[in-house]
Structure 1
Amino acid sequence: MLDFIAAAPIYIIPFLLVLTLVVTVHELGHFLAAKACGVAIDRFAIGFGRAIFSWKDKSGVEWRVGWIPLGGYVRFSGDENASSVPDKEDLDSLRRDIILREGVGAEKRYFHFKPLWQRAFVVAAGPFANFALSITLFAVLLFSLGQYVIPPRIAVVSPGGAAEQAGFKPGDLILSAEGKKVVDFRDLAAVAQLRVNLPTQFEVQRGAERLQITATSEWKMRPDPFGEMRRQGTFGLQPVSQAERVTYGPIEAVGLGVKKTGEIISTTVFYIGRMVTGQVAADQLSGPLGIARLSGEVAKSSTAGAPDFGTMLLGGAIGLLQLAAAISVGVGFMNLLPVPVLDGGHLLFYAYEALARRPLAAKVQAAGYRVGLALVLGLMLFATWNDLQQQQVFKILGGLFS
Structure 2
Amino acid sequence: MMQSPGIALTVLSFFLLIGPLIFIHEMGHYLAGRAFGVKADTFSIGFGRELFGWTDRRGTRWRVALLPLGGYVKFAGDMNPASVPTPAWLALPPGERAMTFQAKPVWQRFLIVAAGPAINFALAVLIFMTIFAVVGEGRTPSTVAAVLPGSAAAQAGVRAGDRITMIASQGVYRFEDIGDLVRHRAGETLKMDVYRGQQQIHLLVTPETDLQRDRFGNEFRIGMLGIAAGKQVKVPLQFSELPGAAARQTVLITRTMVDTLWQIVSGRRSVRELGGPLQIARLSGQVATLGWLDFVYFMAAISINLGFMNLLPIPMLDGGHLFFYVIEAVRRKPLAPVAQEWAFRSGLALLLTFMVFVTVNDLGSFGLWRQLAGLIG
What TM-score do the two structures reach when normalised by structure 1? 0.81
Tell me the residue number matched to 2:156.
Answer: 166
1:253 is aligned to 242
Deviation at 1:152, TM superposition (A): 4.7
Contact in 1 for aligned 2:191/2:202 (Cα 8 Å): no
TM-superposed deviation, 1:24? 0.9
**In the TM superposition, what is the alpha-carbon distance from 1:210 to its structure 2 partner?**
6.3
Report deviation, 1:265: 2.1
Q: 2:299 aligns with which of 324, 334, 358?
A: 324
1:93 matched to 2:88? The reply is yes
Q: CA deviation at 1:175?
A: 4.6
Mark the CA change 1:229 to 1:240 in structure 2 (over 3 Å): closer, same or farther.
farther
* Counterpart Cα distance in 2 of 1:231 and 1:324: 22
**Mean alpha-carbon deviation: is it higher for 22-31 or for 269-278?**
269-278
SS at match of 2:212: strand
Q: Is the Cα–Cα contact under 8 Å of residues 69 and 277 in structure 2 kept in the other structure? A: no
Please tell me whether the aligned partners of residues 175 and 205 of structure 1 are also in contact (alpha carbons under 8 angstroms). Answer: no
Amino acid of the structure 1 residue aligned with 2:346: V
Find the counterpart in structure 1 of residue 116 from structure 2: 126
* Aligned equivalents of 1:18, 1:364: Cα separation in 2: 37
Is the Cα contact below 8 Å between 1:192 and 1:235 reproduced in 2?
no
CA deviation string 1:161-212 (max 9, x = no partner):
2112112345655454345124244642542423642223032557x87655
Partner of 2:367: 394
Retained in 2: the 8 A contact 1:87–1:361? no
Q: Which residue of 2 aligns with 1:40?
A: 39
Tell me how far 1:237 sits from its aligned partner.
Answer: 2.9
The question of whether the paired residues in 1 share the 8 Å contact of 2:125 and 2:243 is answered with yes
Q: Which stretch of the first structure deviates more once superposed, 145-154 or 57-66?
A: 145-154
The answer to whether the aligner puts 1:271 opposite 2:260 as a matched pair is: yes
Contact 1:340-1:373 within 8 A present in 2 as well: yes
- In structure 2, C-alpha distance between the alignment counterparts of 1:204 and 1:385, rounded to whole Å: 47
> Is it true that 1:141 corresponds to 2:136 in the alignment?
no
* Cα deviation 1:215-245 (Å, max 9, x = unaligned): 211323233475544322222334455x543
Deviations 1:250-307 (A, max 9, x none): 22111111111122222222333333333443343222222222212211122xxxxx
C-alpha deviation, 1:39, in angstroms:
0.4
Provide the residue aligned with 1:285 in structure 2.
274
TM-score (structure 2 length as normaliser) = 0.86
Q: 1:153 Cα deviation (Å)?
A: 5.2
Q: Is 2:224 the partner of 1:231?
A: no
CA-based RMSD of the aligned residues comes to 3.1
Identity of aligned residues (%): 36
Residues 1:109 and 2:104 aligned together: no
Which of 329, 332, 353 is the equivalent residue of 1:378?
A: 353
In the TM superposition, residue 340 of structure 1 has moved relative to its aligned partner by: 0.4
CA distance in 2, matches of 1:228, 1:237: 25
Which deviates more, 351-360 or 151-160? 151-160
Distance 1:49 1:374 in 2: 18
Which sections of structure 1, spanning at least 5 residues, go unmatched? 303-315
Which residue of 2 is the match for residue 77 of structure 1? 76
Q: Displacement of 1:343 after TM fit?
A: 0.8
Residues 357 and 168 of structure 1, relative CA distance in 2, 3 Å threshold: closer
2:367 alignment partner, SS class? helix
Alpha-carbon distance in 1 for matches of 2:250, 2:217:
27
Seen in structure 2, the aligned counterparts of structure 1 residues 175 and 199 have a Cα distance that, compared at 3 Å, is closer
d(CA) in 2 for partners of 1:34, 1:24: 15
Which residue among 272, 276, 284 is the counterpart of 1:295? 284
Task: Indicate the residue corresponding to 2:67 in structure 1.
Answer: 68
SS at match of 1:222: strand
Contact residue 310 and residue 319 of structure 2 kept, 8 A: yes
321, 336, 343: which one aligns with 2:311: 336
